[in-house]
Structure 1
Amino acid sequence: MATDNNYSLGPVPMAARKGVLSLTMVMLGLTFFSASMWTGGTLGTGLSFNDFFLAVLLGNLLLGIYTSVLGYIGASSGLSTHLLARFSFGAKGSWLPSLILGGTQVGWFGVGVAMFALPVQKATGIDTNILIAVAGLAMT
């Protein structure tokens, strides 16, 4: 029988858990994503400084509280998002959170590929479809 190196069916043992530095790098990678910067730039130019500062402060506060609770639950239990959904919603009910999470990842992938392909096409004139295919393969 094959070993489950991803701990998809049970908690991650303490010895296999990642440290703060590697998880921080993952979170910084999510933060310094071109689509996030584009959204922030659009938001910043559409609001006054005080409104922009308030929107950023409130948005980050809400997101920080939400992710802190999720991080605490995950760190305490050692369980993945999918296993936590199964315990919360049951084996049949866990399909909905998994579908939503999968859908966001497909969208994230598509936005990332487009954020690369469109500017490169404008700068080089290379066909957008070729750039999308190459970037999609490279990201995969």
Structure 2
Amino acid sequence: MSADNNYSLGPVPKSARKGVASLTMVMLGLTFFSASMWTGGSLGTGLSFNDFFLAVLIGNLILGIYTSFLGYIGASTGLSTHLLARFSFGSKGSWLPSVLLGGTQVGWFGVGVAMFASQFKKRRALTPTSLS
């Protein structure tokens, strides 16, 4: 049997844990996402500057507090989200958080791919070879 390099069934040892800088880069990558920018652009044009700034500030505070608690728990225990769900809800009850996370990831990547694909299709339709 091969070694489990992802620590899917146990805590990640301290020697294998990533630092703050690399995790910050991952979180920034999740933030700079086409759908997030699209939503921000829609909010920006639909609200006054003060209302937009307040909405962004409150939203980021809520998200920051929530993810800080999750990050603290994960860093303290070394457990993944799925293992924390298993310990919290049991092996049979952990399917719900797993399905919710899986569904959001399908939506996350589905929306991103669809946004890029629709732009590629529009640009391809406008190429000079398609006009002849």
Same topology, TM > 0.5: yes
Q: Is 1:97 matched up with 2:97?
A: yes
Determine the C-alpha separation between the residues in 1 that align with 2:9 and 2:125: 47
How far off its partner does 1:121 sit? 1.2
SS in 2 for 1:108: helix
- Indicate the larger mover: 18-27 or 59-68: 18-27
Determine the C-alpha separation between the residues in 1 that align with 2:37 and 2:50: 19
Post-superposition Cα deviations, 1:91-129, rounded to whole Å, max 9, x if no partner, equal 110000000000000001101111111111111229xxx
- Indicate the larger mover: 7-16 or 111-120: 111-120
Q: Which residue of 2 aligns with 1:2?
A: 2
Determine the C-alpha separation between the residues in 2 that align with 1:84 and 1:32: 27
Determine the C-alpha separation between the residues in 1 that align with 2:24 and 2:54: 25
Residue type matched to 1:89 in 2?
F
Q: Between Structure 1 and Structure 2, how many residues are aligned?
A: 126
Q: Which residue of 2 aligns with 1:74?
A: 74
Query: For residues 19-98 of structure 1, what are the structure 2 equivalents within 5 Å?
Result: 19-98=19-98
**Greater Rg over alpha carbons, structure:** 2
Determine the C-alpha separation between the residues in 2 that align with 1:77 and 1:15: 14
Post-superposition Cα deviations, 1:11-34, rounded to whole Å, max 9, x if no partner, equal 000111111121111111111111
Residue type matched to 2:40 in 1?
G
Unaligned runs of 5+ in 1: 127-140
Structure with greater contact order relative to length (CA < 8 Å, sep ≥ 6)? 2
Unaligned runs of 5+ in 2: 127-132
SS in 2 for 1:63: helix
Post-superposition Cα deviations, 1:69-93, rounded to whole Å, max 9, x if no partner, equal 0000000000000000001111110
Please report the RMSD computed on the Cα atoms of aligned residues, expressed in angstroms: 1.1
Residue type matched to 1:63 in 2?
L
- Shift >6 Å, 4+ stretches: none
Determine the C-alpha separation between the residues in 2 that align with 1:16 and 1:125: 48
SS in 2 for 1:7: coil
SS in 1 for 2:8: coil
Determine the C-alpha separation between the residues in 2 that align with 1:69 and 1:7: 21
User: TM-score, normalised on structure 1?
Assistant: 0.87
